[in-house]
Amino acid sequence: MGNINRRNPRGPYNKADEPQEKINEQIRAREVRLVGDNVEQGIYSIQEARRIADEQELDLVEISPNAEPPVCKILDYQKYLYQKRKKAKEQKAKQTKIVVKEVRFGPQTDDHDYEFKLRHAKGFLEEGNKVKAYVFFRGRSIVFKDQGELLLLRFAQDLEEYGKVDQMPTLEGKRMIMMFSPLKGASKKK
């Protein structure tokens, strides 16, 4: 079976490499509206549009297939694909990724541990991350629900300069959870 790619029998290409637009001979319309930089805009027969593209050593690309007649543009298709991928990559880089950091307490957390975890939570919020603080009740410690809630409310009060409360303390199973988001002006993105 030679060099056939087992995952994709058509070859080593994936869907991203396949053209989304019809180009050159793939265009089946009889007439097209031609646009481009070095061309007189107007309606041409498909043969005439292909000839003009060949003369300029460029590709005829169908950019609006649903128009009547379809709109085609004369351009360098590989360069067009490169710029399209580059633009998509830039947009992806600009998207903010929301990271949720967790801070875990026990119902009877002592002051030193509390201060240590508070420092970490402040750092997380300054970096622009969300914080999920929770008190984990093990075994019979569930009887200390009130202590857990007081601990989380104290935590919220100590973090009010760094973040806002998204969710007040709620008991979910053996955890009492509270969510925080960074304040807009306080976060320092890297």
Query: pLDDT (tens digit, 9 = 90+) per residue, 120-140?
Result: 999 998 888 899 999 988 887
pLDDT over threshold 50, residue 2: no
Mean pLDDT of 5-20: 47
Nearest to 132 by CA among 100, 162, 159, 164: 100
* pLDDT score of 121: 92
Pick the more confident residue, 143 or 166.
Answer: 166
Where would I find the beta strands (DSSP E) of the chain? 31-36, 42-45, 59-64, 71-75, 100-105, 130-136, 163-172, 175-182
pLDDT over threshold 80, residue 113: yes
* pLDDT score of 84: 87
Give the global pTM.
0.49
Pick the more confident residue, 159 or 19.
Answer: 159
CB 165 within 8 A of CB 178: yes
Pick the more confident residue, 167 or 12.
Answer: 167
Q: Residues 46-96: pLDDT tens digits?
A: 888 888 888 888 888 888 888 888 888 888 888 888 988 999 888 887 777
Give the orientation angle of helix 111-126 with respect to helix 145-158, to 10 degrees: 50
pLDDT over threshold 70, residue 13: no
